[in-house]
Amino acid sequence: MTTTGLATGQEIPANPLDIVEEIIAANDWPFDRASDDELVAESRGRWCDYRLFFVWRDDVSALHVSCAFDLKVPQTRRREVNDLLSLLNEKLWIGHFDITAEEGMPAFRHTLPLRGLPAGASVEQLEDVVDAALTECERFYPAFQFVVWGGKSANEAMEAALFETIGEA
């Protein structure tokens, strides 16, 4: 991921979406800033395109980040996907995966509380949150595919997703 051009020590904007917008622009990702409090961007991944949603809530001084991928979970596979979510979320240090109620799509979510920070969010914090969202989606996308389209169990999908190869073929 590309970093922004903001220099250390430079005054940080009060609204963290201003920094997020710079991060997104520095990566040449398409985005739309619907309002001062909402930003939507797309990032091309190894497995699919990811849709990033950012919402700033000034009243609670928190930035919500969501990263979704276009994979609809059929009702017949929801129970197994819910088991997968439990296994996936045990592996995460920040954020969590869930399934959106309306579309039945997997999404990574994390809320960054910023209350009491005089300068607000740092560029590094926001880059880390964006990076974590995309990294975890890339890491676990195959597990969702194994369960939804491969008919595998949550345990089988986790074993396959966490299997690390050494070297290159």
pLDDT in tens, 40-93: 999 999 989 999 999 999 888 899 999 998 899 998 999 999 999 999 999 999
Residue 56: CATH number of its domain: 3.30.1460.10
In a domain, 103, yes or no: yes
Domain that holds residue 39: 16-162
pTM comes to: 0.84
Residue 83 included in any domain: yes
What is the DSSP-derived secondary structure letter of residue 30? -
Each residue of 93-120: pLDDT tens digit? 999 999 988 888 999 999 999 887 656 7
pLDDT at 12 (0 to 100): 46
Q: Is residue 1 part of a domain?
A: no
Q: Which residues pair with 96 in a beta bridge?
A: 109
Q: Which long-range contacts (CB under 8 A, 24 or more apart) does 47-56 make?
A: 47/138, 47/141, 47/142, 47/145, 48/141, 50/133, 50/134, 50/137, 52/24, 52/130, 52/133, 52/134, 54/17, 54/20, 56/15, 56/16, 56/17
Tell me if 68 is assigned to some domain.
yes
**Number of domains composing the chain:** 1
Instruction: Specify if 117 maps to a domain.
Output: yes
Inter-residue contact 100 to 56 (CB < 8 Å): no
On average, the pLDDT of the chain sits at 87
Asked if residue 106 is part of any domain, the answer here is yes
Residue 64 resides in a domain: yes
- Domain presence at residue 7: no
d(CA 6, CA 8): 7
